[in-house]
Amino acid sequence: MILSIDTANKPDLDTGFTQKLGVTFPIILDDKNVSRGVYKILGTPTNLLIDREGKIVFRHLGFAPGGEKVLDAEVEAMVKGLALQGT
Amino acid sequence: MHVMIRRSPIPTLGVGLLLFGLIASTGCSRKEESRTVASVRATQADTVAFSAAGRLEDEAQRLAALQGFVKTRPNNPLSGEAYPEIVALASKLAPETVPSILKSFMQSDFNSPDPYNAIGWNLADAGEQLDLAVPILVKAVAKARAAGDSTGLSSCLDSEAWARFKAGDAKSAVAPMEEARRLARVSDDEMEQHMAFIYESAQMPEKAQPIYTALLSHMENPDLRERLTRIVTAAGGSMASVNAGINRRRAEGVQPATDFTLPSLAGGKPLSLSDFRGKVVLLNFWHYT
């Protein structure tokens, strides 16, 4: 499950934006300053991986080379329950 | 979405960081698409015009925009014929313009470090014309230093170090990379990786090891794990104990994700993080530029 937060809160984006982009995940608008106020996000992109129990397990600050592969590996480890049990 | 102008370590939230917002736009609706195409075409026209007028700084920034546009769209997210046309435009433009720009760049003297950093970083990241990228980025660093902007300086130093590393001279990349890291306002995974790769290539594995360990403590990354294993094993160390340390730090870093309820761009009912309890969630923070 991917949830994407527009930290700049731009509700005037084209309403067909998500379909046209081909993204199947929801984009939500940060009209309550959750990004900075609650999550203390200092810059974009930041990616957090949250496990089935609602806990943040992995964090990515900024762009990382091989980003997608890295995220795949993490999700796999989390789904298999290996993320915190040694690899 | 970041594109061509070399990003500061992590773009600051809420700050319009791109000169060419339309080109950088990720909007791909018909309206957005035609605006993007129009913008790219306008950029090409600008490039030629600025070139003729001898306005090198403007020309260079627009060229970087075109290169960045193509580079960030390898999978053709635009529908129809637009993308092939843009690729053709950019590739037609690049071979003719790049060498002359680079040569002129060597003699130019703009106040801003940005055009030097933009062009130099694009070359360094692509591993192209590194013999020119390095001096261009040295100039970027000098300009940024004179401007007294530590975030900009950090970015330029990172670019310079990366160009030196790509050119096969990791030893000379160590000092600028160390300074870039020291000056960075926000910890940036990419910059940390640069530092570790450079230490490793400069035969300083003992300095690379703690960076890999720290990165793996908040992410999983097969490449970094392989590099760390190589270093630890070569030093006769135990991966079991290194892994135990990583897992301990991961466990310490785990914290509950605070719930929130926010409106959806697509309309309909607002979404809460707790709606997805029981699933692995990738929470992605971004902003539209």
Query: What's the complex ipTM?
Result: 0.89
Q: Do B32 and A73 touch (CB under 8 A)?
A: no
pLDDT(A67) > 50 = yes
Q: Do B276 and A3 touch (CB under 8 A)?
A: yes
Per DSSP bridges, beta strands A27-29 and B281-286 are unpaired
List, for residues B127-141, the tens digit of each pLDDT value.
877 888 899 899 999
Exposed / middle / buried, residue A50 (Cβ in 10 Å: 0-12, 13-18, 19+): buried
CB atoms within 10 A of CB B256: 10
List, for residues B149-182, the tens digit of each pLDDT value.
898 999 999 999 999 999 999 999 999 999 999 9
pTM above threshold 0.90: no
Angle between helices B222-234 and B239-253 (to 10 degrees): 140
A85 touches chain B (CB under 8 A): yes
Q: Do A86 and B243 touch (CB under 8 A)?
A: yes
Residue of B9, B218, B278 with shortest CB distance to A59:
B218
CA–CA distances in Å: residue B236 to residues B200, B215, B241: 16, 22, 12
pLDDT for the residue A43: 78
More confident residue, B99 or A31: A31
The CA-to-CA distance between both ends of chain B, in Å, stands at 7
Contact list, A77 vs chain B (CB under 8 Å): 220
List, for residues A14-43, the tens digit of each pLDDT value.
556 666 566 678 888 888 888 888 988 887
Residue type, B62: R
Per DSSP bridges, beta strands A2-6 and B261-262 are unpaired
Q: Which of A69-73, B135-139, B224-228 has the lowest mean pLDDT?
A: A69-73
**Which DSSP symbol is given to B187?**
-
Contact list, B283 vs chain A (CB under 8 Å): 3, 5, 47-50
State percent of chain B over pLDDT 70: 64
Contact list, B270 vs chain A (CB under 8 Å): 28
More confident residue, A62 or B192: B192
Exposed / middle / buried, residue B20 (Cβ in 10 Å: 0-12, 13-18, 19+): buried
Contacts 24+ apart (CB under 8 A), B70-77: B71/B3, B71/B4, B71/B122, B71/B126, B72/B1, B72/B3, B77/A21, B77/A22, B77/B26, B77/B28
Angle between helices B150-166 and B114-126 (to 10 degrees): 30
Exposed / middle / buried, residue B232 (Cβ in 10 Å: 0-12, 13-18, 19+): buried
Q: Which of B32-36, B98-102, B184-188, B221-225 has the lowest mean pLDDT?
A: B32-36
CA–CA distances in Å: residue B193 to residues B9, B99, B212: 13, 30, 8
Residue type, B50: F
Could you give the 3-state DSSP secondary structure of residue B255?
Answer: strand
Where do the domains of chain A lie?
4-79
pLDDT(A87) > 50 = no
| Window 64-83 of A, Cβ < 8 Å to B | 64-66, 69-71, 73-75, 77-79, 83
Q: Which of A2, A24, A31, A57 to mutate to test the interface with B (most CBs of B within 10 A)?
A: A57
Residue type, B114: D
Dist CA B119 CA B99 (whole Å): 11
Q: Do A5 and B27 touch (CB under 8 A)?
A: no
**Which DSSP symbol is given to B108?**
-
Most confident listed range (A63-67, B24-28, B80-84, B209-213): B209-213
Residue B21's pLDDT band (cuts 50, 70, 90): very low
Q: What residue has token string 């694009």?
A: B122
Fold adopted by A4-79: Glutaredoxin (3.40.30)
